[in-house]
Amino acid sequence: MLKLRLKRVGKKHLPSYKLIIIKDKKKRSGKHIEILGYYNPFLKTYKFNITNTYKWLDKGIIPNKKTFYLLKKLNYIKNINP
């Protein structure tokens, strides 16, 4: 089973995240299948490949809670519960 997760990258105390597709049994820092974008909470910048993100969500990929709320906050997901 695959999941949509945030993978932490960046320096100590200055995290940024990549939005990735990964097998649900792998570690957060494990080998990913596809990178869909990035999110930097300090600079409040983000860039997602939204067409590929919707493609994976249509295939039934389940985002974890943090990823779900991030996509909902950015108005990419509406009227769905995690």
- Alpha-carbon distance of 28 to 8, in angstroms, equals 8
Q: What is the pTM of this model?
A: 0.81
Q: Which CATH superfamily hosts domain 2-73?
A: Ribosomal protein S16 (3.30.1320.10)
- Alpha-carbon distance of 65 to 18, in angstroms, equals 15
3-class DSSP state for residue 14?
A: strand
CB-facing half-sphere around the CA of 49: CA atoms within 13 A: 11
How does pLDDT run along the chain (82 residues), one tens digit per residue? 888 999 999 999 999 999 999 987 777 677 889 999 999 999 999 999 989 988 998 998 988 899 999 888 888 877 665 5
